[in-house]
Structure 1
């Protein structure tokens, strides 16, 4: 059964680990830590701490809401796998690849649904924004393009820029890109809103 937790608490659980990662990185980025005779840069140590923190937050979120989306589950799995690989091999590149794979997986899944004439996005977000079928299909095409574009952008940034630049991009750039994208979908939401359609039909009947 899905529950409705306090919005502020929900936001803290969703974004808290990312903010903690960012702050910890800024404090430890120039530090070198030695464990078992092996030297680890601050980024790797922060990544090692981020994994359990993210899992704890996700677990609390599941306990509070009684539900986790497939996106949240897949994200948690990829964080464990690629974060773990970065720590195990002492190589930050694995963790930097994670956003690319997340966006490729989600974009690919949405694209597969479109090829089948379906909007998988609808099953995830329908409760948040009820739209007509055509609206969902258009939005899904746009979100697919967004995800694939962000995957390419993440690759370009982590492969060509300094780690600190990538951390800023991961912490602020990616969330801001998604937020701005949906901000600019207002026209679509208004045009294909089921509520608006119902109002229009009522006015015609009168």
Structure 2
């Protein structure tokens, strides 16, 4: 089924809104504790649990509007549910924090497998929006793989050594911003590999 086109702003709100909602809820209740089923939970853990239905609702709306969800979105949702469940069951916020490491590590691993096979999996999912020569895709994929590794390592170091408050801020704003800027810089730097639309339409 082809993906239906929706307003880009609406799409961005649905994709980024749950993470921002998690941050706002955490800021509001981070100093509170809640007694649920005879167990006392911190504001962070409650925020993480509330984040799950918000994310699922957002994905359901996105699927309804577009008729499609990416594999990465489905995987991320699974990881949030799984580690959110572990966080609640063991009443241990570390599970939710390590989720980010595993997601970034998984993405690096998938791209790395493609590189070992001489392929760019990024090309398969982005070529329609970013026409580029194969050499450019391979360079781009190697760099993005390295960036995911850096983010995974950074997350491990930060959640293990810094406060929960700092981790939440970095998770919500710094990591996505760093990845966005990195991708933008790479695309600009790989301009010479881009395929012009006119060149694509020239018959062989």
Common fold: TM-score over 0.5: yes
> 1:113–1:120: 8 Å Cα contact kept in structure 2?
yes
1:180 aligns with 181
Deviations 1:61-84 (A, max 9, x none): 111111111111111110110111
SS at match of 2:41: strand
SS at match of 1:194: coil
- 1:197 Cα offset (Å): 8.2
SS at match of 2:50: helix
Deviations 1:104-142 (A, max 9, x none): 111001001000000111112122211111111110000
- 1:55 Cα offset (Å): 0.8
- 1:179 Cα offset (Å): 0.9
- 1:196 Cα offset (Å): 6.9
> 1:100–1:151: 8 Å Cα contact kept in structure 2?
yes
Matches within 5 A, 1:90-105: 90-105=91-106
2:148 aligns with 147
Consecutive unaligned residues of structure 2, counting only runs of 5 or more, are: none
SS at match of 1:4: coil
SS at match of 1:131: coil
Query: Quick check: 1:137 aligned with 2:143?
Result: no
Change in Cα spacing, 1:196 to 1:135, as seen in structure 2 (3 Å) is farther
Change in Cα spacing, 1:56 to 1:193, as seen in structure 2 (3 Å) is same
SS at match of 1:39: strand
1:67 aligns with 68
Dislocated runs of 4+, deviation >3 Å: 186-189
43-52 or 184-193, larger mean C-alpha shift: 184-193
Q: TM-score, normalised by structure 2?
A: 0.94
> 1:190–1:196: 8 Å Cα contact kept in structure 2?
no
Consecutive unaligned residues of structure 1, counting only runs of 5 or more, are: none
Q: TM-score, normalised by structure 1?
A: 0.93
In 2, distance between residues paired with 1:13 and 1:97?
24
Q: Please, what is the CA RMSD of the aligned residues?
A: 1.6
2:4 aligns with 3
